[in-house]
Structure formats: structure tokens, C-alpha cells
């Protein structure tokens, strides 16, 4: 297990939990950047842009540590669904996802500022949702924390009973594509080790 200390530039408890599950020792420093979705970028590049923005901000005051930034975007028919601002928007989001297949993309940036190391990447998962009755939508919104999640749902909670199938990484939908992340994280560690050997 890798017990290296890294900084997670996110206050997402799901990302923190996932990274700890693979043995990483974390310090949490939220970037608190504005997750502005009003950019003329395709969803994949928007997720990468926002993840990099988070990591870069935290790296400026933590130049000699590995910083991890991440951002998850849900989209359907090129319409991007961020975090709902209220119950009404949450309902509209879930209503539009009901009975359809949407995409979830998580962008991740791993940065070590002093050594000039930067890896930014993303992964996409397709999520097919069963048709959800209105009373079930309202029950979900009223009984589970949904406003802190892109698309207004958590695949790991009660909403999971409406997931017909997924194509891709499950953990990506939770906010961190673990296998993809670990591949790039090891590349960063290798580059850091090469600096030590010089």
C-alpha cells in the first residue's frame, strides 16, 4: 500500500473515501473555486478544465506536494447537468434522466508544482436509468442529500435501484475513476523518484 501523503483539492466525502480505500494518506484542502459550467467546452474538456483549475489553485500554496483535483460532469444530448441549485432544479434533472442513458465524465488533475509535473485526464461512463415514477423522484429528493452531486443523484445510495446498467467505471460515477487515477498517479510517483535519483 502506498502511504504517500497527497492533498485532495476537494471537499467531496466520496472522493476522499475512494482514495483512502486504495491506501492513500490524504490531506483535504478544498479549492473553493467557482464550478462555472458556462464555458464553450465539450463536457470532457470542461471536467478536465475544472479539475486542473482546482489543483492549480491549491498547488500555489503547496508547491512541494502532490495535489489532486477532480470534477464530475453529467451530460445528456450535450446538455450539462451540474449540481442542482434547489429542489425544483433537482426534480427537472432527474425527470430528464429518467428512462434514458446519460454520460458521466470525471476529469482529474495530478500536479506537483515545484517539479513541473502535471497529468490531466478524464474518463466517461454511460449510465442507463429505468423510468422513475414521480412519487419515487420526490421521495428521493426529499430523503437523500442530492444538491452536492452532479446530475442530482448518487449512484451509491437509494437511487441505485433505478440504475438499469452502466458501461464503464462505477467509481467514475462516484467522482473518481480509481483504476485510471492509479495509473497516472504511479507515473507521477515515478517522475518524482527520478528527481530524487539525480
Angle at 29 between CA 24 and CA 22, to 5 degrees: 15
Q: Which residue of the set 38, 71, 135, 193 is catalytic?
A: 71
The answer to whether 65 and 6 have CB atoms below 8 angstroms apart is: yes
148 is known as an active-site residue: no
What are the percentages of helix, strand and coil residues in the chain, rounded to 5? 40, 25, 35
Question: Residue 106 and residue 175: Cα distance in Å, rounded?
Answer: 6
Count other Cβ atoms within 10 Å, centred on residue 149: 27
23 DSSP β-pair partners = none
Known catalytic residues?
A: 71
Amino acid at each position: 500500500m502506498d502511504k504517500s501523503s497527497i492533498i485532495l483539492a476537494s471537499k467531496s466525502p466520496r472522493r476522499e473515501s475512494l482514495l483512502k480505500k486504495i491506501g492513500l494518506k490524504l490531506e483535504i484542502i478544498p479549492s473553493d473555486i467557482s464550478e462555472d459550467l458556462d464555458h464553450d467546452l465539450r463536457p470532457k474538456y470542461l471536467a478536465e478544465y475544472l479539475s486542473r483549475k482546482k489543483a492549480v489553485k491549491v498547488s500555489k500554496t503547496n508547491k512541494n506536494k502532490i495535489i489532486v483535483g477532480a470534477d464530475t460532469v453529467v451530460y445528456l444530448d450535450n446538455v450539462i447537468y451540474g449540481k442542482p441549485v434547489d429542489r425544483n432544479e433537482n426534480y427537472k434533472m432527474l425527470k430528464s434522466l429518467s428512462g434514458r442513458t446519460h454520460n458521466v465524465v470525471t476529469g482529474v488533475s495530478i500536479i506537483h508544482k515545484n517539479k513541473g509535473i502535471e497529468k490531466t485526464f478524464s474518463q466517461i461512463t454511460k449510465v442507463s436509468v429505468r423510468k422513475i415514477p414521480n412519487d419515487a423522484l420526490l421521495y428521493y429528493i426529499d430523503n437523500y442529500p442530492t444538491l452536492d452531486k452532479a446530475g442530482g443523484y448518487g449512484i451509491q445510495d437509494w437511487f441505485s435501484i433505478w440504475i438499469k446498467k452502466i458501461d464503464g467505471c462505477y467509481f467514475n460515477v462516484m467522482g473518481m475513476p480509481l483504476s485510471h487515477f492509479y495509473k497516472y498517479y504511479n507515473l507521477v510517483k515515478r517522475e518524482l523518484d527520478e528527481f530524487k535519483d539525480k
